[in-house]
A = this chain, B = another copy of it.
Amino acid sequence: MKLSYDSKYQLKESFADFSDFLKKHQDWTGWLNLEKLSEESLIAKIIEKSQYIRENCDVFLLVGIGGSYSGAKAIIESLKGYFVDSKPEIYYVGNSLSSEYLFNLKEKIKDKDIVINYISKSGSTLETKVVLEELEKLMAEKYEDSELQKRIIYTTSNPEIVPEGFDYFLIPNNVGGRFSVFTPVGLLPVAVAGIDIRELLDGAKAVDQDLAKEYALFRKKMIESGKEIEAYVVYEPKLDHLLEWVKQVYAESLGKNNQGIFPAGLVNTRDLHSYGQYLQEGKQNVFETVLVVDEKVEIMVPAYGKNLSEINKIAQKATTIAHQERVPNLIIEVGILDAFKMGQLLQFFMLSCVMSGYLEKVNPFDQEGVEGYKKEMLKLLT
């Protein structure tokens, strides 16, 4: 991984108290202890379970919302090629309350073999609970009890929700939802998709602390210069959900105390044809964080005597030049994305986000604000 940005930004500041900051919040930093998360007994159990799932179903349903599904989806979509049939098919359910989605999904999968992974830290999240109840009806019609117990797997911090005889994975109490991608929350679905989770964890362990500090300092400069919006930019459409994951990590960790940067996701060159005009001539309240990956596939474009992947890189460089006067940008070059690099990248974003919390003097681990709509909802529902 490599960061680059305008050399006029001098990013030097002490992180001397950062370890105290982490210590103060030690009830929430379990995800930093990757050695513990990747204990061989746990990893072996996850892989064994993922093999059972791969061999015993056509359809794998990941029932979860927010941090309970987003990391897995980001990894799977970013590493999977376009239009590649996966076995089992993976569907992400319970991240909306759309009845049409649920109805049509049930129609589509009713005659197939199904395994469900129900992921909920508290066990009580409304969206996933409602959807699980509906899917349980379908499962009960299809399978005997003994079979059912193998086909619904729970991932939770609250084992009390797990019915007797069913298998489950624990989410450590000291890991919050948006930081849980390297617990069974992310690891089991990612393993089901056939991705090497040991490589992924090795990547996370190899996170570059200095780069994470650099990015946090760059963000601080942007905040100080009055920027209000951070546009995360990619030039590869399949990285779209990776941006959704990044947006949650940053908005939910740092959007508090009347502070925070509003995160947006741009998929270029598509969005040069929507946001391009605003960035070039609109209000100067945006900075860009551009994620550049290398492509493995080469297609020669005779008109320019160049490969399409080179032309995509040129588009990124041209945009950087065109924007930089009004839209400061930081480029993150990743190389060819594989499981190792993916682990490194996700840990980089989580760690750097917490460093931003340290620099901005906010607690990046809580999310009291999310309770707002939940409370109003309970009032209206009951």
Q: Give me the interface of A with B, judged by CB distance under 8 Å.
A: 65-67, 70, 81-84, 95-105, 107-108, 126-127, 129-130, 133-134, 177, 228-229, 235-238, 244, 247-248, 251-252, 254-260, 262, 264, 267-270, 272-286, 295-299, 301-304, 306-309, 311-312, 314-315, 317-319, 321-323, 367-370, 372-377, 379-382
- B residues within 8 A CB of A295? 98-100
Tallying the copies of this chain within the complex gives 2
Q: How far is the CB of A59 from chain B (nearest CB, A)?
A: 11
Contacts A282-B256, A301-B133 given: A318-B99 contact, CB under 8 Å?
Answer: no
Cα–Cα, bound, A301→B292 (Å): 45
Q: How far is the CB of A278 from chain B (nearest CB, A)?
A: 3
Cα–Cα, bound, A236→B100 (Å): 9
Contacts A66-B273, A247-B274, A248-B273 given: A99-B307 contact, CB under 8 Å?
Answer: yes
In the complex, the answer to whether B104 meets A274 with C-beta atoms within 8 Å is: no
Cα–Cα, bound, A247→B172 (Å): 40
16 further A-B contacts with Cβ under 8 Å, apart from A98-B295, A256-B278, A272-B373, are A83-B104, A99-B312, A100-B238, A130-B304, A133-B302, A228-B228, A252-B273, A255-B275, A255-B281, A258-B281, A272-B370, A280-B372, A281-B369, A311-B381, A314-B380, A322-B376
Contacts A133-B301, A281-B257, A311-B97 given: A273-B65 contact, CB under 8 Å?
Answer: yes
Listed by A's residue number, 16 A-B pairs whose Cβ atoms lie within 8 Å are A66-B273, A70-B274, A96-B267, A99-B309, A228-B229, A228-B262, A244-B274, A255-B279, A258-B282, A258-B284, A260-B278, A272-B370, A276-B369, A276-B372, A277-B367, A277-B368
Cα–Cα, bound, A109→B140 (Å): 38
Q: How far is the CB of A279 from chain B (nearest CB, A)?
A: 7
Q: How far is the CB of A52 from chain B (nearest CB, A)?
A: 26
